Structure 1
């Protein structure tokens, strides 16, 4: 028997068929609507362009400026040393003090040198006395030789008389022997006197050499005494005191150092890229190469004086020396300075604001409202008229009338769409 709550079998089938029918009908309706919808034309999106500023290329002839680092030096730095062994008695100057030429800077003890000078003076006077004695001896030998020769003649005549008497047996053999001995002795005396006279030039030269030697030692002693007072060799400034009063110094030991104020200069390293132009300008002497710097708030003007003869194995440049011009005062050697150097004039260059340069050597040209990257040669900078400074660049690819991007874009790349506007801006519309 059927349950009173169970629906008829036909009703159960309808309950299962109805949801399936609804699903199929929905699918059919979706595909019909999709196939019969109206076609909507596609509208391409507008290309995004950046508003930028640009500057037109104009050839100019200009002097670029570059900054180099240097050090103040003096090739007139003198180290004053002790010339003798003596005690430092006075030191009259201090570090940093300006002195004039021939100013007495220091004095050494003179006691030992005065004694040595007296000894050399005595030796010199003794040598002079020996020379005078030699001249007197020479004159005496000349007079004595005449007497000795006369005595020799007397002895010769005496011997001849004895020989005559001996032949007549009027003299003894003893008298003959005595006469011969006296004659030989007198002959030896004459020879000795003649040798003394012949040796006179040698003895005179020897005594004169001794005199010259003693005179040289006397001059040296006098010179050593004079060098106990140390004077400034030029107008300058005391750089450093290297000894103290009371210290016993030996020859060559330093006392103080002094630098010449007129020989102060700045030594700096010039870049290799500019050496050829600097050499040509120095040789032509048509225009002075100037530089400027500041020390303790004081502005100084310098000029390039010369280039170093040796690069010291440096591959980045060569040392150059700059001299001060009309300086109100001169800074101390050893200080580090930054030089702003005027480079030689360059033709067919372009002056651009700093923001036009990307990296060290890249700019962007506007071509058909798109950016085009160009590599350029950066020559330096110069003071600008409206901006703080301008960058001078050169490139064979640039032509007069080209537009150069002067707005700094964070995403600048070749092909980037841009729109040149008169106002300032770097944002897309």
Structure 2
């Protein structure tokens, strides 16, 4: 009994399933029949026309610009360092980061006690050297006088010897007297040699005194320079940066105290690729003084300055490429060394070119031109430069033609467009609202059924369209729009 009951239940469920499937098939078949039975007017195939912005290519002369990023630098920077070690005795008022100092202003004073003592000792040594020089001069005078006296005595001894020899020849004198006179002359000549030696020593003493005086003068100059070095002054008018000195602190020799920057003599350094750098060379391979424009965006406010290319780095840095170029700036107010700025370099002018938006040219340099019947033609033009959102192309082959400003995947050669020209409204190829058409009853019924079946259309718009379709003459634009939605 249980088996029979289960079998009957299974047969009932199977029958119910087949019945539901048959009902669904019947409903689908009826819907398809009703759809096929609806008399819809045939929709003629219509060409799609796209609207595109166009512009006329006008050849001209343009100065291309190369945009790079650079860093502001100071052309005159001085590191303030302590010439010698010592204790900081005084710091001038206003010596701090960002402060402006004038040329010759005393910034820091070191303790001058040791250098003052050294200067005083050097002055004393100079006075001693001067005294030694005067004493040497007096000794030289005495040595010369002694030599003159010795020479005079030698002359007298020589005359006495001559007289004794003459007396001996006449038989009056004696040989002893002659010998005595000869010995006296020999002693006088020896005295002359001694006086000459003393004169040479006196002259050498004068020379030594002069050398000692010069050394004393040098020592005094060094001492005075050391004393002057205790006052650190500003070599030019500028701004201080990185001040590390404190009053009462000890500083070592050559220790960095601060940095002095001239804010009025600035330059910008930027790196260009080799190809970009080659455009800034003349026929002789020399760098041209191309004008540059430097800008810095500060919270929406742009600071700008003008300048000119001045020089290029002598070598390519390790691990770097391209060329490092320097340009001097004029009127660079608001800039500070270390600012990261945008640099626009004006290249030499190029003739017979046109400036087009980058969206008008594809990766191969192809553009779309407007031909007869507003149909597009594809053409490749040489792209000379790409700068920002624009490109510079050779306009000799497309001069006077209209080019599509914004390309899209829907546009291509042979496509008909509705050109939008600058300063003019678009021309609509579709009929205007004032143009009306007379509908056949079948065509009118199909449009009314489509509008009534559209559940997404607002009731007000649906009522307005149904009112227009109920008239004898219906606006052609409304009919075209509805038929397009029906699958035209």
TM-score by shorter chain over 0.5: yes
Q: For the structure 1 residues 44 and 199, does the alpha-carbon distance in structure 2 shift closer, same or farther, using more than 3 Å as the test?
A: farther
The answer (yes or no) to whether the contact 1:52–1:418 under 8 Å persists in 2 is no
> Which of 1 and 2 has higher RCO (CA within 8 Å, sep 6+)?
1
**Which moves more between the two structures, 198-207 or 76-85?**
198-207
Shift of 1:78: 0.8
Pick closer, same or farther for the CA change 1:201–1:293 going to 2, 3 Å.
same
Alignment of 1:125-164 (within 5 A): 125-148=127-150
2:400 counterpart SS class: coil
Question: In the superposition, relative to structure 1, how do residues 188 and 241 fare at CA in structure 2: closer, same or farther (>3 Å)?
Answer: same
After TM superposition, give the deviation of residue 397 of structure 1 in Å.
6.8
Secondary structure at the residue paired with 2:264?
helix
The partner residue of 1:321 within 321, 324, 327 is 327
Deviation by residue 1:234-280 (Cα, 9 ceiling, x = unmatched): 11111222443322321x32221111122112222345445455445
Question: Could you say what secondary structure the match of 1:225 adopts?
Answer: helix
CA offsets 1:76-128 (integer angstroms, 9 cap, x no match): 11112222233332333111111111111212221111111112112222221
Residue aligning to 1:12: none
Report what 2:441 is aligned to.
none
- How far off its partner does 1:73 sit? 0.3
Corresponding residue of 1:399: 398
TM-aligned CA distance change 1:355 to 1:334, over 3 Å: same
TM-score (norm 1): 0.70
Change (3 A) 1:243 1:101: same
Q: What residue number does 1:79 align with?
A: 79
Q: Equivalents in 1 of 2:404, 2:414: separation in Å?
A: 12
Distance in 1 separating the partners of 2:337 and 2:208 = 56
Tell me which residue corresponds to 2:37.
none
Supply the distance in 2 between the matched residues of 1:94 and 1:67 (Cα, whole angstroms): 37
Q: How far did 1:337 drift? A: 1.1
Give the CA deviation at 1:288: 6.8
2:95 is aligned with 1:91: no
Distance between the aligned counterparts of 1:209 and 1:397, measured in 2?
85
3-state SS in 2 of match to 1:401: coil
SS at 2:354's partner residue?
A: strand
Q: CA deviation at 1:132?
A: 0.8
Aligned match of 1:347: 351
Q: In structure 2, what is the Cα distance between the partners aligned to 1:317 and 1:152?
A: 88
**Aligned-partner Cα distance in 2 for 1:65–1:289:** 10
Is the Cα–Cα contact under 8 Å of residues 63 and 343 in structure 1 kept in the other structure? yes
Report what 1:365 is aligned to: 369
Taking structure 1 as reference, are residues 360 and 219 closer, same or farther at Cα in structure 2, changes over 3 Å only? farther
User: What residue number does 1:293 align with?
Assistant: 295
- Retained in 2: the 8 A contact 1:71–1:266? yes
Could you say what the CA RMSD is over the residues aligned between the two structures, in angstroms? 4.3
CA distance in 1, matches of 2:151, 2:224: 50
**Conservation of the 8 A alpha-carbon contact between 1:66 and 1:342:** yes
Q: Once the two structures are superposed, what CA deviation does each residue of 1:181-218 show, in whole Å capped at 9, x if it has no partner?
A: 98876654442222111343333222211211221121
Please state if 1:249 is matched with 2:252. Answer: yes
Write out aligned runs for 1:20-169 (5 A): 48=48, 50-92=50-92, 93-148=95-150
Identify the structure with the greater strand proportion. 1
Give the Cα separation in 2 of the matches to 1:317 and 1:147. 84
1-structure distance, mates of 2:82, 2:224: 15
What is aligned with 1:417? 415
Offset at 1:134? 1.1
Pair 1:353–1:220, CA change in 2 (3 A): same
Seen in structure 2, the aligned counterparts of structure 1 residues 349 and 94 have a Cα distance that, compared at 3 Å, is same
Give 1:230's match in structure 2, choosing from 229, 232, 241.
Answer: 232
**Aligned partners of 1:88 and 1:249 also within 8 Å:** no
From the superposition, tell whether residues 76 and 346 of structure 1 become closer, same or farther in structure 2 (CA, over 3 Å).
Answer: same
Contact kept, 8 Å, 1:381 with 1:391, in 2: the verdict is yes
Deviation at 1:300, TM superposition (A): 2.0
Please give the per-residue CA displacement for 1:333-371, whole angstroms capped at 9, x wherever unaligned.
111112344444332122323432445955333456245
Contact preservation (8 Å) 2:289, 2:308 = no
- Show the counterpart of 1:379: 385
CA distance, structure 2, for counterparts of residue 370 and residue 142 of structure 1: 117
Unaligned ranges ≥5, structure 1:
1-42, 165-170, 383-389
